Amino acid sequence: MKILVFGSLNIDKVYSLPHLPDKGEMLGCEELETHVGGKGLNQALALKKAGADVVVAGMVGKDGAFLTDYLTRSGVCAEEIGTAAVPTGHAIIGIDPQGRNQMIIFGGANRAITEPYCDAVLARHGDADLLLTQYETACVEYMLRRAHEQGITTAVNPSPYVDAVKDLPYHCIDWLILNEDEGRRITGETEDDAVARALFALGGSRIILTLGSRGALYYDGENTVKTPAFAVNAVDTTGAGDTFTGYSLFALLSGKSPQEALRDAAAAAAIAVTKKGAAETIPDRAQTEAFLKERQT
Ligand code: RIB
């Protein structure tokens, strides 16, 4: 299975804080770590670790070569990643002792992607089984429309939420994967089933709605499947959604049932949150299967 991930590549600066800052508060911090990140990079890693062949398309600055190297070392094809004349995107991430985070994203090179770049990538990877993208790069709408015209199955994680997400070409999206907050903000609904129905009504995409510690929900216009989350001691929830996205999509595209796919993804995400970082904490298949066996599901 070949998956083209068109997405963000970030340098994550992770600050361990005594608590998440209040408005106007100045906080001291004793611990800073730098990690590879970006929703595109994280989701590509999750897909690879789940078992897919993955090609990443995106943009870094001259300071971002180590992100490309990291993907290559991980077995992901990074040959499509371009270099822009602006700095690599970065995230400033504050984490509290419960593993909850607050994030500031600087788009940098992720915002330097152009339509001709998208055309060139699609011309070389029209045979992809899936195009997966998020909302951290330029040209997302353009890429979706062009991929849809070429008959490529598409999946979107419309994150982070901004109002423009409401105007995505939903009829071009086959799979929509998002968290409960994003779902509520896009639809204006509050109750899970109503959110899923309203998202489906936007363009007929199959919906995967993650519900944090409450689990996840799948909806395809007829069937609804819900699974609980696994209880673990969370250290850092950054990248949990990306892990879930990669694992659930791989399982569904491999022919697993929605129930099995959500369970696999929940297990992988549960393992990921027990360590600090995003991409580096995504478990491989063997770890995920061992976790599921241990939890006897
Ligand atoms: O989803 C987590 C990711 O969001 C981080 O790695 C950060 O870079 C932002 O893209």
- For 29-46, the pLDDT digits (tens) are 989 999 999 999 999 999
- Nearest C-alpha neighbor of 261 from the set 248, 278, 277, 242: 248
Closest ligand 1 atom number to CA of residue 10: 8
Closest residue to atom 7 of ligand 1, CA basis:
38
CATH code, domain with 175: 3.40.1190.20
**Which residue ranges have their beta carbon within 6 Å of ligand 1?**
8, 10, 12, 37-39, 42, 91, 105, 136, 238-239, 241-242, 278
User: Residue 153 is part of which domain span?
Assistant: 2-296
Residue 30 φ/ψ, nearest 5 degrees:
-100, -15
pLDDT in tens, 184-240: 999 999 999 999 999 999 999 999 999 999 999 999 999 999 999 999 999 999 999
Q: How far, in Å, from the CA of 43 to the mean position of ligand 1? A: 10
One-letter identity of residue 157:
N
Closest ligand 1 atom number to CA of residue 160: 4
pLDDT in tens, 80-129: 999 999 999 999 999 999 989 999 999 999 999 999 999 999 999 999 99
Number of domains in the chain: 1
pLDDT in tens, 241-260: 999 999 999 999 999 999 99
Residue 29: Cβ within 10 Å count: 11
